[in-house]
Amino acid sequence: MELSDNLLMRQRRSRWAAWAAAGMWRFARAKPLGAAGGVIVVLLAMVAVFATAVAPYDPVETHYTHRVEAPSGAFLLGTDHFGRDVFSRVIYGARTSLFVAVLSVALGASLGGLLGLYSGFRGGRMDFVLQRLVDVVLAFPLLVLALAVMAGLGTSLRNVIIAMAIVLAPRAARVLRSSALAVREAEYVKAARAVGCSGARQLFVHVLPNCLAPYIVFSTISVGVVIIAEASLSFLGLGVPPPDPSWGSMLAQEGYKLMRSAPWVSIGPGIALSLAVFGVNLLGDAVRDVWDPRLRQ
Amino acid sequence: MVRYVIRRLLVAVPVLIGVSLVIFGIMRILPGDIAEITMTGGAASATTSDIEHFRKALGLDRPLHEQYLEWVRGVVTLDFGKSLKSGAPIIQDMALRAPLTLEIALLTVLIAILLGLPTGVLSAVRQDTWIDNITRIISISGVALPVLWTGTIVVLVLSTWFDWIPPLGYESIWQSPWTNLQQVFWPALVLGYNFAAIVSRMTRSCMLEVLRQDYIRTAWSKGLRERVVLYRHALINAMLPVVTIIGVQFGTILGGTLIVEQIFVVPGLGSQLVESVQFRDYPMVQTLILLITGAFVLVNILIDVLYAFMDPRIRYE
């Protein structure tokens, strides 16, 4: 009995794996560029997760005898003015960047998305009020609002995540509201209503699953937006505070002054940042084409 | 048309009121007493009476709604109060710095249109040729490379190979156009490349869509010249989404000025905002953010009006 159960489980798992693999293969065939972006993103995520194993040094460890040293065998990308290994800092920077991106998108897109979904599904006065609120928040340029929130909350990793979530939430609300509006009028939702499903059941069982595609597309694209915004805030000295490594602050305080004498201090983080954004954009474009052609701008 | 413009302007009023409330809320209600932080700088060196005095001088001891109304009254009458840092009236600082940022923003849009539109059209008309591929590679990189990084590269290249240092201080375009242009050209080029890439991609995809329409085939079969078909029939109709995206992305330009002004040491509104935040000069911060957001709202109204001008269907909705 136990054995057959086990077997069944394993079979089921392998079938699922095969299904996932086939799906990925189809995606890669249809969208080679998107797949390339996906590979870049996965590699960066691996680097971020296993930073302790990949990085040769501690990112905040200072080697006073090796300050502002050019790239060499010991320090692959050279060292900065504190004698910190730039290569290790770039690697840990990936961790900061992706950590902020994943958490703030999860937080902002989910909360904002749920609110938008509910607002679009229910309609009426609440929808009106909520949408006017969204109007107000969307009136701010993205980076300016993020900066204002950072000015109010003070600089810390946690606050960067909060600021980014605040910036993303109204955008997610807009996107999901419009898909909820469309889905609400679909035959199957009307049918659910007709057979007497409760509001919550209609919303979560019938509307929500059918709004997942725009949610996933929005989240993917937002990751790229957050990576740039976090780097920008940190570059301005209002994001992730030193000495924690962030690509943005590495380009700013550390890289800028040394630019002429030691360009390697800024080249490493600059390339890493561009690569990350490039990968996420490629993936995001492909995801959008495949899952939600309507969202194509 | 006039009615449309008026209606559009009226809609902006509640949005701006909301915006001012949000800014005020962020500056006051969030944790941290401004008076205490400003006076002590984080350490406990000022006495309580000093802090009280400071609070009173700024009106921070009064109820929140009074403070808010006072601020709004000031903004409406263009009396923004005084900067905590310099003690000078905020409007004085702004009058000095705003033109630079405005120049950068306008030049950015200009560069983006001059580079983005023709390349987008060319790319669409010669779809899947080498011209199209090269244009697409350049524009995809333009979207993917953060302004932060392209700006740093430009400074790196200019300073290493051309011994160029960004001019410090402020020169107005009327006093010395050449210095002023040097000051705003590079930041605008960096932002403009990013923006041109977006415009180019948008133009390309819209042109491709429009070129497949029936009326374009009709135009061709009537024997019209290529130029007439492309510009009179196709481009005008492909322009609508492009105009929209310029409006939507203008916020990105405004955000981008924060970055490029920092990189190229331009004493504009962006760098002032960053300095003021670092100094916790909150009257300055809240006024600057309101001004920048107000500019964004205004640009979007202009875009809407332009849109209505280009597409009569919108006017009569």
For residue A85, what are the β-bridge partners? Answer: A79
How far does A214 lie from chain B, in Å, by closest CA? 20
236-275 in chain A: CB under 8 A from chain B: 236-238, 248, 251-252, 255-256, 259-260, 263, 266, 270, 273-274
Cβ–Cβ under 8 Å, residues B279 and B270: no
pTM of the model: 0.85
Contact B273 A149 (CB under 8 A): no
pLDDT for position A297: 40
pLDDT for position B110: 92
pLDDT digits (tens, 9 = 90+) for B132-174: 888 888 888 888 888 888 988 888 888 777 777 766 666 666 7
B75, B310, B246, B270: which is closest to B184 by C-alpha? B270
How far does A15 lie from chain B, in Å, by closest CA? 37
Q: Which two tokens stand for residue B123?
A: 């790319």
Provide the pLDDT confidence category of residue A295 given band limits of 50, 70 and 90.
Answer: very low
pLDDT, average across residues B229-233 = 83
For an interface test with B, the pick among A235, A257, A296 (most B C-beta atoms closer than 10 Å) comes out as A235
Q: Which two tokens stand for residue B122?
A: 């060319």
Upper half-sphere CA count for residue A275 (Cβ side, 13 Å): 19
101-140 in chain A: CB under 8 A from chain B: 132-133, 135-137, 139-140
Taking residue A220's Cβ as centre, other Cβ atoms within 10 Å add up to: 23
- Of all residues in chain A, the one with the smallest CA distance to B27 is A152
Residue A216 has pLDDT above 60, yes or no: yes
Contact B262 A232 (CB under 8 A): no
> Which residue carries 């079969």 as its tokens?
B221
- Of all residues in chain B, the one with the smallest CA distance to A150 is B277
pLDDT for position B236: 82
Q: Distance (Å, rounded) from C-alpha A184 to C-alpha B132?
A: 41
pLDDT for position A259: 67
How far does A216 lie from chain B, in Å, by closest CA? 20
Average pLDDT, chain A: 83
Q: Which two tokens stand for residue B171?
A: 């020169």
**Would you call A293 exposed, middle or buried from its count of C-beta atoms within 10 A (0-12, 13-18, 19+)?**
exposed
For an interface test with A, the pick among B259, B272, B274 (most A C-beta atoms closer than 10 Å) comes out as B259
Provide the pLDDT confidence category of residue A181 given band limits of 50, 70 and 90.
Answer: confident
How far does A281 lie from chain B, in Å, by closest CA? 7
Contact B258 A152 (CB under 8 A): no
Q: DSSP character for A195?
A: T
Q: Distance (Å, rounded) from C-alpha B190 to C-alpha B156?
A: 13
- Respond yes or no on whether ipTM tops 0.90: no
Is A147 part of the contact surface with chain B (CB cutoff 8 Å)?
yes
pLDDT, average across residues B54-76 = 77
For an interface test with A, the pick among B258, B263, B269 (most A C-beta atoms closer than 10 Å) comes out as B258
Report how far Cα A30 is from the mean position of its chain's Cα atoms.
Answer: 24
pLDDT, average across residues A11-19 = 78
* Share of residues in chain A with pLDDT > 70 (%): 90
> Which residue carries 């990084």 as its tokens?
B149
Residue A296 has pLDDT above 50, yes or no: no
A144 vs B155, B205, B255: nearest CB: B255
Residues on chain A touching B205 (C-beta within 8 angstroms)? 296
pLDDT, average across residues B8-23 = 88
Contact B255 A141 (CB under 8 A): yes
Taking residue A190's Cβ as centre, other Cβ atoms within 10 Å add up to: 13
Residues on chain A touching B284 (C-beta within 8 angstroms)? none
Residues A236-240: contacts with CB under 8 Å, at least 24 apart: A236/A147, A236/B258, A236/B259, A236/B262, A236/B274, A237/A155, A237/B274, A237/B278, A238/A147, A238/A150, A238/A151, A238/A155, A238/B274, A238/B277, A238/B278, A239/A150, A239/A155, A239/A160, A240/A96, A240/A100, A240/A155, A240/A156, A240/A157, A240/A160
Is A23 part of the contact surface with chain B (CB cutoff 8 Å)?
no
pLDDT for position A10: 74
pLDDT digits (tens, 9 = 90+) for B81-136: 777 777 778 888 888 888 888 989 999 999 999 998 889 888 888 877 888 888 88
pLDDT digits (tens, 9 = 90+) for A104-143: 999 999 999 999 998 988 888 888 888 889 989 999 999 9
B30 vs A142, A152, A263: nearest CB: A152
pLDDT for position B31: 54
SS3 content of chain A, % helix, strand, coil (to 5): 80, 0, 20
Chain A and chain B share a number of CB contacts under 8 A equal to 139
For an interface test with A, the pick among B160, B193, B277 (most A C-beta atoms closer than 10 Å) comes out as B277
How far does B144 lie from chain A, in Å, by closest CA? 5
Contact B258 A278 (CB under 8 A): no
Residues on chain A touching B259 (C-beta within 8 angstroms)? 143, 232, 235-236
Residue B254 has pLDDT above 70, yes or no: yes
A144 vs B21, B146, B254: nearest CB: B254
**What separation in angstroms does the CA of A173 have from each of A120, A168, A253, A261, B23?**
9, 9, 36, 47, 21
Q: Distance (Å, rounded) from C-alpha B312 to C-alpha A263?
A: 54
For residue B82, what are the β-bridge partners? Answer: B89
Contact A236 B274 (CB under 8 A): yes
pLDDT for position B47: 67
Q: Is B82 helix (H, G, I), strand (E, B) or coil?
A: strand
Q: Is the peptide bond before A263 cis (omega within 30 degrees of 0)?
A: no
How far does A260 lie from chain B, in Å, by closest CA? 6
- Of all residues in chain B, the one with the smallest CA distance to A258 is B156
Q: Distance (Å, rounded) from C-alpha B65 to C-alpha B78?
A: 20
**Which amino acid does the sequence have at A272?**
A
- Find the DSSP H helices in B169-224: 177-211, 214-221
A149 vs B26, B254, B296: nearest CB: B26
Q: Distance (Å, rounded) from C-alpha B273 to C-alpha B292?
A: 10
A259 vs B159, B259, B273: nearest CB: B159
- Of all residues in chain B, the one with the smallest CA distance to A271 is B149
Q: Which residue has the higher pLDDT, B273 or B167?
A: B273
> Which residue carries 């920008």 as its tokens?
A232
For an interface test with A, the pick among B148, B164, B257, B290 (most A C-beta atoms closer than 10 Å) comes out as B148
Residue A239 has pLDDT above 80, yes or no: yes
**Which amino acid does the sequence have at B213?**
Q
pLDDT for position A4: 65
pLDDT for position A29: 77
For an interface test with B, the pick among A90, A138, A145, A167 (most B C-beta atoms closer than 10 Å) comes out as A145
Q: Distance (Å, rounded) from C-alpha A246 to C-alpha A240?
A: 7
* Share of residues in chain A with pLDDT > 90 (%): 18
Cβ–Cβ under 8 Å, residues B262 and A237: no
Residue B6 has pLDDT above 80, yes or no: yes
pLDDT, average across residues A177-196 = 86
Residue A40 has pLDDT above 70, yes or no: yes
